Chain A
């Protein structure tokens, strides 16, 4: 069972390296970095405690939000998904991404306290 899981995962990674374009790989690297930051914050919270809770939430939600927005950008920019998003060009997707980040960070700065 575990053997097959490992072989599945290695095959998936192999296909990922070859099939995905460079643009998407850049986005994926950014997403991985955000994931690490979020995990680090959560680890800190578990070790040191939740005070002040609003600051922890602000930081953590900022990571999760950035991750989600990155995923949305990746979906909208991926040429395979063009059929779903006829009215949204790549530039529009990026502009939406920037707008969403502006709103997210304004709120996070207010919440950090």
Chain B
């Protein structure tokens, strides 16, 4: 916490000096150079040197703060990979380091999606694995033998520092150095970004946000200079982004939109032409090198905007060239001809694309495919999430946006478009809050920087142009003192200020204090949110007793390691798709379905097995060669993320593929409720998932107040306590009954007869009555 205070105080002492000695937008260079010298009490001969030292120190501290802030989970538990997706990334990176790059790129994984297998090389974004693998290789080359797991765990915190630096560079291009430093500090600790980049969360977003910000920085630089060098740099950074995350589509749509808006605003210049044309064409061929992306950039509708703007820009540039050469009449004739041709071509292309169905398939998937709809991160964002993830930044960011629009130039158009599109997407899906966070940090930094510049640095600069030299010296000395003793008013300063229509020093100091307090509260909030909400590994659960001691629930790992050590190496485990990656990563066993969810029918089969009765499910399990079934049951400890709570999604997905066998309404009571007690639907009470969850649970009494078999999560006493299995047997139940593993029995050697045994009725013995 002290660290954060140092950072905030450090940056505030720096930014007025930085704002003073490096001008904002419209101050003359000479005057502010002189002002800077005077402001530092004239004892330092090289303000530029001190300025860069301060910038370097602040950026280093921001990196350190960002890195440390993400280490809560590692300190509280251990260095472990969190959640679900990172386990797959870790397994792939492990495969990369043990087998080499080409083995990884061509890897066909037969231990997942049994019996289909998965072509990993063609269905994954390799940037993350290659980055981690490269760092591991370099470190081992230098004989620093770091295990690949530690590289993976700490990769995201290290890259968060790089994100801070690229945000600094980008904001410095947009506004000035002070705003850049503020933005770097904001993005280092803001919860919206931390949520996806804590230590242990080895996922694409950890490196993708760095690539995003760096690409945008290089793009702004190439628009400003019009140099092909910066455009090529932007292309290479874009290539890294394409290899890292599917969100690269955001870049390839935002940049063309920016160019298009510049054209509409009559801001076309040759620099824009050079920057975009080079970026588009070299970026296009670079992006197609990633196997997963393949030929999508010239086929799918998401990439068509970029191509359209490219064609439009070529036409526009050519017309500009002609316009400079020809008279108005001649130009008009050619222009009409050209426009007619272009309209015809566009019309035909749109007809062709609509005919082949490429153009309109955007949000169809989100509504109509149940798997996508069921992921919690795809739900719309609530207002609470905005404040929780961004705190005061979400309030100050419209102010920054307004400043950018008021003092518009080419790059500020870009950031305004970025902000508007990011706000729209963040409102649609919770998961996309992450793309909103960098632009909110940048624009809030611009707002704060303008406020500080106005309320802190105004004295020095206002005096410079109209007033003569002697009073200049006076003012600078006095304004130097103003910073140290806020509120203490110098006599001739206040006189001077009464002559001008300025703000009193009281107002200035009040406003400055308020801003500083807001920033301190922001730092406190960020640390609290990180510590409480975003630092849970999900693999290990912790609860706290009344006296504060910690109770660790390590059931997941216990169960996975049991699987690893007590089952055959080629055993196949069936579970719901949430746990597939973890089973593959920790237990190292073949799974049927996992988080990749690329085959809906296969998942529907598993769902059907879970929702049918035992005999029907046994047929499905035999056909898929299943050896073990794993389920999560939270009834003993009250864990609400267990499989019975997810059960309705299993039913819905199964119903989507097998509507004749599974009907969702069968699992509800006649009144329409989902109940697990005696009043529950009989189909529910005899399905496989119910039986597996509650096997032997009817004998268990958790405490004397509740009857035996009381499910803590659903707060109900279960209906069917007498559960017997015919084809499964219980293999393992973890300590708090969280994970339950059942073994699927092989077919009997003999088929038992279905009908009852013949009962032999003793025939009455006939005794002869003859004498």
Contact = CB atoms under 8 A, between A and B. Distances in A.
Contacts of A11: 326, 330
A27 to B, nearest CB: 14
A100 B278 contact: yes
A36 interface: no
Given A57-B288, A69-B228, A75-B270, A12 B282 contact: no
A108 B325 contact: no
Given A68-B281, A103-B282, A96 B229 contact: yes
Interface of B: 225-229, 231-232, 235-236, 269-271, 273-274, 277-278, 281-282, 284-286, 288-289, 295, 298, 322, 325-326, 330, 333-334, 337
Given A62-B285, A72-B277, A100-B231, 8 more contacts: A5-B334, A61-B281, A61-B285, A72-B228, A88-B226, A92-B227, A99-B228, A100-B282
A65 B274 contact: no
A47 interface: no
Nearest to A78: B270
A87 to B, nearest CB: 6
Contacts of A62: 285
B282 A104 contact: yes
Given A100-B232, A111-B288, A8 B281 contact: no
B616 to A, nearest CB: 46
Contacts of B226: 76, 84-85, 88
Interface residues of A, number: 43
A65 B285 contact: yes
Contacts of B333: 1, 4-5, 8
B218 to A, nearest CB: 14
Contacts of A15: 325
A70 to B, nearest CB: 11
A64 interface: yes
Contacts of B284: 61
Contacts of B288: 54, 57, 111
A21 interface: no
B interface secondary structure, majority? helix
A107 B330 contact: no
Contacts of A57: 285, 288, 295, 298
B548 to A, nearest CB: 59
A51 interface: no
B173 to A, nearest CB: 15
A16 interface: yes
Contacts of B289: 107, 110-111
B295 A12 contact: no
Contacts of B278: 68-69, 72, 100
Interface in A97-113: 97, 99-100, 103-104, 107-108, 110-111
A96 B227 CA distance: 8
A103 B281 contact: no
A81 B274 CA distance: 13
A92 B235 CA distance: 19
Contacts of A45: none
B66 to A, nearest CB: 32
Nearest to B277: A68
A58 B282 CA distance: 11
A46 to B, nearest CB: 15
A71 interface: yes
A55 to B, nearest CB: 12
Closest 4 CB pairs of A and B: A96-B228, A8-B330, A72-B274, A96-B229
A100 B232 CA distance: 6
A88 B277 contact: no
A8 B329 CA distance: 9
A65 B278 CA distance: 7
